[in-house]
Amino acid sequence: MDELKKNGASPGPDAPEEELSEELKQKLKELDKESNTMEYTGLWGKIIAAICICFSLFQIYTGFFGVMDAMLQRAVHLSFGISLVYLLCPTKRSWVKGGSVHPLDLFLAVLAIIPPVYILLNYQDLILRAGTVTPADVAIGTLGIVMVIEAARRIVGLPIVVVVLCFIAYGFLGPYMPGAIAHRGLNLDQMVGHLFFTTEGVFGIPMGVSSTFIFLFILFGAYLEKTGLGKFFIDISNAIAGWASGGPAKVAVISSALEGTISGSSVANVVGSGSFTIPMMKKLGYSKDFAGAVEAAASTGGQIMPPIMGAAAFLMAEFVGIPYMEVVKAAVIPAILYFFGVFLGVHFEAKRENLKGTPRSLLPPFGAILKEEGHLVIPLIAIIGLLSSGYTPMRAALAGIVISIAAAMLRANTRMSFMDIVDGLIKGARGALGVLIACAAAGIIIGIVTKTGIGLKLASALVDLSNGSFLLLLFCTMITSLILGMGVPTTANYVITSTIAAPALISLGVPILAAHMFVFYFGIIADITPPVALAAFAGAAISGGNPIKTGINASKLGIAAFIIPYMFVLSPAMLGIDATFGSVVATTLTAVVGMVGVSAAMIGFFVTKAWWIERLALLAGGLMLIDPGMMTDVIGTGLLILVGVFQYARRKKNAAIA
């Protein structure tokens, strides 16, 4: 390790963050609410740590020996999670003094576990009278729904609460709704019975996925971070691209793509790697707004990067009814195209501004990094192999946890102590809280949709709005997903759009996986789409740039994410749907060339700085290449070659004059 430091190896994402000002740390915590939890000391710190350890051990135990009945598993899962949320996300931080939990938050934590514990204690009775609720059931169920909504406000944010309350209001006010969206309306007994005492509401599919393999994959990610894999990714990215034109920005793209394999949070990725890469980019000469945008765009792509994508990818596997590995396989080519597009944008910007890389003498040697830290990627390779060989996600995640601990033991500089292993259990439990509560809140939305039938009605409305135009329907679905994604976590966003917008696409013949992937992509890209672009705001907070300008630059860099979903809907072969090897290769190659044209048009540089007419030609050519078809490919290629030749001649002429 000392050898790496002498050769200029990066200190990793944790070290730079320690140098951030307290004001900046607080601002970043406000943007990333899921990680903005209290750190208690003394007795309460030990009590909360013990709860987290028990939570993780419960999930590991049921993963090894088999999960309980669906309702019981999910009730225990919610009991642990919701109590921790009320303890770790206090009503007011100013009330927390001396490292102790405020009495009000302690009372709420106890109150919050009463509804799920009530289900555990009365499980048999509830089954025997399924469909019938007593006054006690209604009171307990109402309390449970209210506590879930308040927990969502604390750890996920206000936007999801607004969406949930709107759906609940729709459930009650059905008879007063206009036209096709009207329904008979639900009374309190029907509402509570459906949302809290069936597996169609709070304890629905999202909670089921959270209580099984999402938690275990989050725990796996926590152990990978404990091993120092994030630092290895930055070091290896520096060795690969740090010397190139605009090196630090390319390092940000590569490292964020790699970190995306173990993390599914855009803002967390920005905070983790951006605190190191953004200052490097600014030092090289990138503007504040562009430096923050590079990290935001690259980090957002982490949620679409296999093998561990955002939590919504696990839900997609359940909703579509296919193995998770099939989702991973389908996501590979779109993810590569996305990061290739961001990389090209960074490259063209560096060429346009004549930005150089870091001298090789100041960069860590590739061989030395692999020798010292290369063993840390063993768990990642192992989990890909396990998933490919037919292991269930739960079994693969459990094996990955064991392998990550074992791999870290191979060298003294990465070896974990017993307390490190225990700390991994704590971090895993805390890291799962945001997703857990988002899944519970999303379950409420699903419950209202299934009880009222609003999903099919809104899908029909989208089809009617498009007036039979397929491209217009895609555009309307995109706008819907982007709006819902502004401030709403990807998990909840995907649940809403997959139940409302995806059916509209499926009704017009779009393959189910392509339809779900379409709304999934646009829900994610909302993190860099102004005006509410959380990843861009986090990048701007670190760079000191303007959040809106950072968001605009990030959207330009991430332009691939606005195009790729149209590509795989128009040509499902990109997702491996009804595709041959040759068709996948042909579609991918033309799309890659098309991304060159689109990225050059966005930045304004190809062979040399582009005139506005050249940018239009590059954009048109790029889009034609991305659109599958022989004629469009030929015309697109011709436009790119024409602009390239013209620019090369102009650059040569200017060089001769100079």
Q: Are 342 and 253 in contact (CB under 8 A)?
A: yes
CA distance 613 to 569: 30
Residue 629 lies in a domain: yes
Average pLDDT over residues 241-255: 78
CA distances from 408 to 58, 119, 140, 378, 619 (A): 24, 41, 46, 9, 47
Residue 548 host element (H or E): helix 547-557
Q: Please, which pLDDT band fits residue 36 given cuts at 50, 70 and 90?
A: low
Contact assessment for residue 558 and residue 338, using Cβ atoms and an 8 Å cutoff: yes
The closest alpha carbon to 647, from 245, 340, 352, belongs to: 352
**Which residue, 203, 218, 233, sits at the end of a domain?**
203
If you average pLDDT over each of 104-108, 301-305, 469-473, which comes out highest?
104-108
Residue 419 has pLDDT above 50, yes or no: yes
When pLDDT is cut at 50, 70 and 90, the band that residue 12 belongs to is very low
What is the token pair recorded at 650? Answer: 């102009």
Q: How many residues does the chain have?
A: 658
Which of 43-51's residues contact partners 24+ apart within 8 Å by CB, and which partners?
43/100, 44/99, 44/100, 44/101, 45/99, 48/84, 48/87, 48/88, 49/426, 51/80, 51/83, 51/84, 51/87, 51/429
pLDDT exceeding 90 applies to what percent of the chain? 28
pLDDT of residue 444 exceeding 90, the answer is yes
Q: How far is CA 75 from CA 25, 42, 70, 477, in A?
A: 35, 29, 9, 34
Q: Which residues form the domain of 657?
A: 580-658
Please give the Cα distance from 603 to 192 (Å, whole number): 53
pLDDT grade, residue 7 (50/70/90)?
very low
Mean pLDDT is lowest, of 305-319, 597-611, 637-651, for: 305-319
Domain boundary among 177, 203, 229: 203
Burial annotation 314-346 (CB, 10 A radius, 16+ → b, else e): bbbbebbebebbbbbbbbbbbbbbbbbbbbbbb
In a domain, 136, yes or no: yes
pLDDT at 319 over 70: yes
Left, alpha or beta for 392 (phi > 0: left; psi -120 to 50: alpha)? Answer: beta
pTM: 0.84
> What's the rounded mean pLDDT across residues 635-648?
92
Q: Would you say residue 553 lies in a domain?
A: no
- pLDDT tens across 326-371, in order? 888 888 888 888 888 888 888 888 888 887 777 777 777 888 888 8
Task: Choose among 438, 436, 446, 435: nearest CA to 167.
Answer: 446
Give how many domains the chain has, as a whole number: 2
Q: How confident is the model at residue 539 (pLDDT cuts 50, 70, 90)?
A: confident
Asked if the model's pLDDT at residue 18 lies above 60, the reply is: no
Q: Write phi, then psi, for 97 (nearest 5 degrees).
A: -130, 145
Cβ-contact 300, 338 below 8 angstroms:
no
Question: What pLDDT sits at residue 355?
Answer: 78
Does 587 fall in a domain?
Answer: yes
Q: Tell whether 224 is covered by a domain.
A: no
| SS3 assignment, position 605 | strand
CB crowding 368-403: b at 16 or more within 10 Å, else e:
bbeebbebbbbbbebbbebbeeebbbbbbbbbbbeb
What sign has the CA pseudo-torsion 315, 320, 324, 325?
negative
Provide mean pLDDT across the span 207-222.
89
For the cut 90, the answer to whether the pLDDT of residue 116 exceeds it is yes
Q: Does residue 488 lie in a domain region? A: no
**Do residues 49 and 109 lie in contact, with contact meaning Cβ atoms separated by under 8 Å?**
no
CA 40 to chain centre: 28
Residue 169, classified by CB atoms within 10 Å of its CB into exposed (0-12), middle (13-18) or buried (19+), is exposed
Asked if residue 493 has pLDDT above 80, the reply is no
Side-chain-side CA neighbours of 547 within 13 Å: the count stands at: 14
Per-residue model confidence (pLDDT) at position 436: 92
Phi (first) and psi of residue 605, to 5 degrees: -150, 135
Confidence of residue 262 (pLDDT cuts 50, 70, 90): low
Q: Give the residue among 332, 290, 340 at the shortest CA–CA distance from 313.
A: 332
> Is residue 575's pLDDT more than 90?
no
Average pLDDT, the chain: 84
pLDDT value at position 2?
A: 40
In a domain, 652, yes or no: yes
**Where is the domain boundary, 171, 203, 235?**
203
Helices assigned H by DSSP within 301-417: 311-320, 324-353, 366-373, 378-388, 393-408
CA–CA separation, 280 and 71 (whole Å): 50
More confident residue, 243 or 310: 243
CA dist list (Å): 17 to 20, 24, 223, 317, 470: 5, 10, 20, 35, 47
Check residues 388 and 150 and name the one with the higher pLDDT: 150
User: What local confidence, expressed as pLDDT, does residue 120 receive?
Assistant: 95
Q: Which residue has the higher pLDDT, 138 or 528?
A: 138
Lowest mean pLDDT among 188-197, 200-209, 347-356: 347-356
Which positions ≥6 away from 337 have C-beta within 8 Å?
Answer: 560, 564, 588, 591, 592, 595
Q: How far apart are CA 331 and CA 524, in angstroms?
A: 13
Among 70-79, 106-115, 426-435, which stretch is predicted with the lowest mean pLDDT?
A: 426-435
Single-letter residue type at 520: F
Q: pLDDT: is 256 or 474 the higher one?
A: 474
Inform me whether the pLDDT recorded for 274 exceeds 50. Answer: yes
The Cα–Cα gap between 141 and 189 comes to 9
How far is residue 439 CA from its own chain's centroid? Answer: 14
The two tokens of residue 287 are: 């503007």
Query: Could you report the per-residue pLDDT of 618-627, keeping only the tens digit for each?
Result: 999 988 887 7
Percentage of the chain lying above the pLDDT 70 cut: 93
pLDDT digits (tens, 9 = 90+) for 586-615: 888 888 888 899 989 998 999 888 899 999
Asked, for residue 105, whether it belongs to a domain, the answer is yes
Three state DSSP letters for 609-648:
ECCHHHHHHHHHHHHHHHCCCHHHHHHHHHHHHHHHHHHH
| Angle of the 581-603 helix axis to the 324-353 helix axis, nearest 10 | 30
| Higher per-residue confidence, 194 vs 281 | 194
Q: Pick from 293, 233, 296, 235: which is nearest to 259 by CA?
A: 233
Whether 585 shows a pLDDT value over 90: the answer reads no
